[in-house]
A and B are shown apart, each in its own frame.
Chain A
Amino acid sequence: MIALQLFLEFTLLSFVAFGGATALLPEMHRVVVENHHWLNDTTFTHLYAIAQAAPGPNVLVVTLIGWEIAGLAGALAATLAMCLPMSVLIYLLIDRWEGFSGKRWQRAISLGVAPLAVGLVFSGATLIARSAGLGWAAWALVAVTVVANLRTKLHPLWFIAVGAALGLLGLV
């Protein structure tokens, strides 16, 4: 049963999801597109785009991937797998957090994770670029988005609206 397999694969991933679901994009692509061929590149890219345009936590891209692979059972299995293990762990640990927060090993892990998470998000960006098969106009849009997002305080929805409009007009 694919939903169960999805649940097990994504449960494993939830333990290394430093940086949330965004950091998991490359690995989800590897598991879902490259290893199991459950989705193709185009669908994967589209699901990422839909998740970007919808309100809610970033984790919902996982829900969409589960839905396309195995319907409602897949959507729930993937979402639960991503959220449940750490939720249980945090439920058990939160009362002890004050005890180990600020210890040298705890700070070392937090410091050590940060550069890895940057690498994961960067990899996710290159992966979306690759699987979307961007042309030169789309690359120009990527570049403008990066600069504008770093230099202005415009809400991300504006960028998404512009991207959608340019896409509708067939310009990217």
Chain B
Amino acid sequence: MTAAGTENQSRPDLRALFLGFSSVGLSGFGGVLPFARRMLVEEKRWMTPDEFNTQLGLCQFLPGPNVINLAVVVGKRYQGALGAIVAPVGLLAAPLAIVLLLALLYDAYGSLPLAQGMLRGIAAVGCGLLFAMAWRMGAAIRDKRYFLPFTVMVVAAIAWLRWPMPAVMLAGLAASGMVAYWRLGKK
């Protein structure tokens, strides 16, 4: 996998991995995946667009934060096990420090009416952004007639009935996976 690079740029060391992913972690708000692509494919050229798409496939196939998974993959590819640790740590270290600093501020001043008002306003906007994201994700689904009923069922089970998510997801995935398997066979 780690073919000898012809130039410096194509085979990052641990330091480069850490710094590269740190810059990705700090550049995005509410999702940094597009920035990861820009860094990996366009700026540093550690991956070709095709390689990026293939490797991202597994990162998106498995549950969990996609961009962390991607950092593990890129780190492993260039620096083995150590790289697979350093890259995600680089991605998380700086944003984690910032978020903990905000948490300290929240603990100190969060009970002030001004802070409460501000957070309420941000929460309302955040709620709107989530509805918009759900709409966009829903619009991207093909074969809506067969698949959107599963969306409705998940909303009923999770938001309304408050059933535990692991059970809902396992049952839901079994059912909608079977429908998907059948639909794939039709084409």
Which residues on A are within 8 Å of B, measured CB to CB? 12-18, 20-22, 24, 26-27, 30, 34, 45-60, 63-64, 67-68, 72, 75, 79, 82-83, 85-87, 89-91, 93-95, 97-98, 101, 104-129, 132, 134, 138-139, 141-146, 149-150, 155-157, 159-160, 162-172
Name which residue of chain A comes closest to B1, CB basis.
A95
Name the contact of A56 in the complex, choosing from B96, B132, B175 (C-beta under 8 A): B96
Name which residue of chain B comes closest to A42, CB basis.
B116
Residues in A whose Cβ lies below 8 Å from that of B179: 112
Give the dominant DSSP class at A's interface.
Answer: helix
Closest 7 CB pairs of A and B: A167-B121, A56-B95, A145-B128, A119-B154, A163-B125, A86-B64, A112-B177
A75 to B180, CA, bound (A): 38
Indicate whether B108 reaches chain A with its CB closer than 8 angstroms: no
* B59 close to A90 (CB less than 8 A): yes
* A16 close to B121 (CB less than 8 A): no
Q: List 12 A-B contacts (CB under 8 A).
A: A15-B166, A26-B165, A52-B30, A56-B32, A94-B73, A110-B180, A112-B176, A125-B131, A144-B128, A145-B129, A145-B131, A172-B120
* B57 close to A54 (CB less than 8 A): no
Residues in B whose Cβ lies below 8 Å from that of A22: 130, 133
Known: A122-B130, A125-B128, A145-B129. 18 other contacts (CB 8 A): A17-B63, A17-B65, A26-B159, A46-B119, A50-B99, A55-B28, A57-B31, A57-B91, A68-B107, A90-B62, A116-B172, A118-B134, A118-B137, A118-B138, A119-B150, A121-B137, A134-B124, A163-B126
